């Protein structure tokens, strides 16, 4: 049965961030993920995880000025030193929090940057990060994101992600498969997941349109979630959706998986 992790960035947004750990545990989750921990003391987050017996399964590398619209700096040639410093900062947090997976956001390609040049910059940054994370016992993941929500995002589909993973040539680089983003960009969800299963240690879900909980849109999760069991997927699935009303009201779909 799929293992669900609460995404604390989008779920339980009726309460302050540090109170969402308790809310997730109360709802029956055993694991959580979120975008970034860096605005908080890592020991405070660790205390929340321990207090509520929660496992942190994923967070992101630093991604530039998020509040100002940046969505990662992995393909930015003038930010390499910042990227490398962010890798070390992420390792410091992940180690303290017991998190064994970190996601690297490629970012929005600078308008004057040639796509092939951006690809080479991203590959070089991933080569650096994958080695650093491997030494720390942490997996590095990359994520393709739809260009409707983030216009100009550099990494946009499964084929591109797999191509970049092969080009990096590291055994510590993997594909975080976001069902919501990939439904928008390419569809053919079940076959694509099965084809690349060995490179997918983590998934995220939401329905489309609206990016709300499963059952509110077009994705057939009644088929897809059992299919993941059938093909042997054993990783976590982060519930990275915006509740249509309240988080608690929208958790009915998840009840069988939170027993």
CA separation for the pair 58, 85 (Å, rounded): 19
Taking the whole predicted model, whether its pTM rises above 0.85 is answered as yes
Cα angle value 170/81/71 (rounded, 5°): 75
For position 178, what pLDDT does the model report? 98
The residue written with tokens 């027993």 in the block is 259
Task: Tell me the CA end-to-end span of the chain in Å, nearest whole number.
Answer: 10
47-70 pLDDT, tens digit each: 999 999 999 999 999 999 999 999
What's the total number of domains in the chain?
1
- By the 8 A CB rule, do 97 and 58 touch? no
Residue at 258 is within a domain: no
For position 231, what pLDDT does the model report? 97
For position 1, what pLDDT does the model report? 83
Q: Which of 201, 204, 219, 173 is nearest to 34 (CA)?
A: 204
Sorted by sequence, the CB contacts under 8 Å of residue 249 that are 6+ apart come out as 243
- By the 8 A CB rule, do 111 and 118 touch? no
* Cβ burial 181-202 (10 Å sphere, 16+ → b, else e): bbbbbeeebeebbeebbebbbb
CA separation for the pair 180, 203 (Å, rounded): 10
The phi-psi region of residue 190 (left if phi > 0; otherwise alpha if psi is between -120 and 50; otherwise beta) is: alpha
Domain span at 227: 3-240
* Cβ burial 228-256 (10 Å sphere, 16+ → b, else e): beeeebebbbbbbbbbbeebeebbebbee
Question: Which residues participate in catalysis according to the annotation?
Answer: 143, 240
Q: Which of 226, 229, 220, 5 is nearest to 101 (CA)?
A: 5
Residue at 250 is within a domain: no
Residues of the chain with pLDDT under 50: none
Please give the sequence-ordered ranges of beta strands (E in DSSP) within the chain, or none if there are none.
3-7, 31-33, 55-60, 101-104, 139-143, 173-178, 202-205, 236-239
- For 77, the token pair is 């040639």
Give Cα separations from 190 to 85, 130, 194 (angstroms): 37, 27, 6
Residue at 253 is within a domain: no
Residue at 257 is within a domain: no
- By the 8 A CB rule, do 216 and 242 touch? no
Sorted by sequence, the CB contacts under 8 Å of residue 61 that are 6+ apart come out as 72, 74, 83, 86, 87, 90, 102, 103, 104, 105, 129
Average pLDDT along the chain: 97
Residue at 254 is within a domain: no
Residue at 247 is within a domain: no
Q: Could you tell me the CATH number of the domain that includes residue 76? A: 3.20.20.150
Burial class (CB in 10 A: 0-12, 13-18, 19+), 35: middle
Residue at 251 is within a domain: no
Residue at 180 is within a domain: yes
């Amino acid at each position: 049965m799929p293992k669900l992790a609460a995404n604390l960035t989008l779920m339980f947004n009726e309460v302050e961030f540090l109170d969402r750990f308790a809310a997730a545990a109360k709802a029956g989750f055993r694991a959580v993920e979120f975008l970034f921990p860096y605005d908080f003391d890592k020991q405070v987050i660790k205390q929340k995880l321990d207090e509520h017996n929660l496992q942190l399964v994923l967070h992101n590398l630093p991604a530039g000025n998020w509040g100002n619209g940046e969505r990662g700096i992995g393909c930015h040639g003038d930010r390499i030193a910042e990227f490398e410093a962010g890798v070390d900062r992420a390792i410091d947090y992940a180690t303290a929090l017991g998190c064994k997976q970190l996601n690297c956001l490629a970012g929005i390609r600078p308008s004057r940057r040639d796509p092939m040049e951006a690809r080479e910059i991203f590959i070089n940054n991933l080569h650096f990060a994958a080695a650093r994370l491997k030494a720390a016992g942490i997996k590095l993941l990359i994520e393709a994101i739809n260009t409707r929500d983030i216009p100009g995002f550099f990494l946009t589909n499964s084929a591109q992600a797999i191509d970049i993973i092969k080009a990096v040539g590291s055994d510590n680089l993997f594909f975080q498969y976001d069902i919501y983003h990939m439904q928008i960009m390419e569809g053919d969800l079940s076959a694509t997941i099965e084809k690349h299963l060995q490179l997918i240690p983590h998934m995220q879900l939401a329905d489309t349109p609206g990016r709300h909980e499963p059952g509110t849109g077009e994705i057939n999760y009644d088929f897809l979630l059992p299919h993941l069991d059938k093909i042997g997927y054993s990783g976590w699935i982060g519930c990275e959706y915006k509740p249509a009303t309240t988080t608690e009201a929208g958790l009915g779909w998840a009840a069988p998986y939170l027993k």
